[in-house]
Amino acid sequence: MAFPVRKVHMTGIGGVGMSGVARMLLHEGVSVSGSDLVDGAVLDTLRGMGAYLSVSQAGENIPPDTEMLIISAAVRQDNPEVVEARRRGMEIIKYASALGLLMREKTGVAVSGTHGKTTTTAMLAVILTSAGMDPSFVVGATVPQLATSSREGAGDAFVVEACEYDRSFLNLHPQIAVINNIEEDHLDYYGGLEEIVEAFREFAGLLDRDGVLVGNAHDRNAMSVLSAARCRRLTFGAEVEADWQAVNLDCSDGAYCFDVMKDALMVGRMRLAIPGLHNVLNSLAAVAVADELGVDFVASARALEDFCGAERRFSIVGKAAGVTVIDDYAHHPTEIQVTLKAARDCYDSGRIWVVFQPHQYSRTRFFLKDFARSFAQVDRIIVPDIYFVRDSDRERKLVNARDLVTQMRGLGYHAEYIPEWRCIIDRIISQARPGDVVITMGAGNVNEVADALFERLEREAD
């Protein structure tokens, strides 16, 4: 890959996507400096690869001869590094634009959708790697089987997770694109569903006439976008008419085994190790794209038999004292519902606890009643404070975690507000019993509860 400049600074370099781009640039020989507000393993890895990093954000962090500033979508225009780069007349681009520049010389595959894009991207990266195609990829979470979230490969395929927030995905240059689903989300940026669908139409419009758009036959909005696309179109679905179909589904302990049909012809049977009907659809999307890239179904099915998911996607932290601890990234009502359905299918006898950390004040306010209704299958719900990101001070005054708990209790759910991690763990330890399942859920830092809870369960079991 030929990046247009040889010296960059990256503000917010510790994020999954930004650090992935940084690794690719370093691999290509680009000089990378950067900053973040929190130190940790990600920054240590980048330092080991030769990046010069600061755990602060200030104009003086940018080396004198830097040619370009790359910023994450969360970085504001009044950030001191952005202000300094503007003063110097440097080119300033967002993460997605950098990803688009890296994609130009490859066969780009962009996986989009309100839900499922991380898992689908990870599945495709695993399939292509297993098939010996040595793909480049950027996934929105670490993929344990690949031991990374990103890699620059020697092969022609470049697979990326394409986010619709801030219309970021419009900066990409794909030849193949996936739309898993389209729902209301990121309403701090979009004015409503119509505007979101229109953004996906623009995304589909990035494809040339010889490109391929792959869409979920179950999702009305995705099908609306596909119907207007000028490129070749493929659909996928379970027990519905589609180009790629899952039929004869059999569920055991939450995981599915099913036959796959392509163009109404049986191509083989697939068995997934990860639970949930939603993952059947994710796998069909990945298999359809892999087929377009030249990987036969048998090789794809074999790769996905061992696919263990992406980090924080129904990740089993461990089992101690008879209690199973799971961590999941779900932070939208639909994601919560399908995750809890999968959990109930896997663990149908014990009680299910959920520690749900709402993500963003604006999202919590927009979906307050939907969030409350999403926990019908849960026996005990604990809600800490809302995880703050991107919201204005005004938004923070309009809703709080207690409001969500009140909604849940109004539906008859056993829900309580507990703001402190230590107190949450104390409550679970004092009341959990063998056979129970505890799921920490949210896109913030609630995974810290899962790790600390499991450690304490282990100690008390000894």
Which are the catalytic amino acids?
117-118, 161
DSSP 8-class letter at 4: S
DSSP 338-388: HHHHHHHHH--SS-EEEEE--B-HHHHHHTHHHHHHTTTT-SEEEE-PPBP
* Cα angle 398, 402, 406; round to 5: 105
How far lies 37's CA from each of 14, 21, 202, 366, 394, in Å? 8, 18, 34, 29, 24
Bridge partner list, 57: none
Alpha helices in 347-389 (DSSP H): 361-366, 368-373
* Contact present, 197 and 225 (Cβ < 8 Å): yes
For residue 298, give both structure tokens: 């048998």
Residue 332: phi, psi to the nearest 5? -130, 145
Q: Give me the DSSP letters along 232-263.
A: EEEEEEESSS-SEEEEEEEEETTEEEEEEEET
276-131-279 Cα angle (round to 5): 10
Integer Cα distance of 367 and 412 in angstroms: 19
Quote the DSSP letter at residue 230: S
Closest listed residue to residue 247, CA positions, set 234, 263, 233, 266:
266
Residues in the chain: 462
Question: For residue 386, what is the DSSP state?
Answer: P
Tokens matching residue 131: 């098939």
The torsion angles phi and psi of 322, rounded to 5 degrees, stand at 80, 0
Structure tokens at 140: 């929105």
> Which burial class, exposed, middle or buried, applies to 22 when counting CB atoms under 10 A from its CB (0-12, 13-18, 19+)?
buried
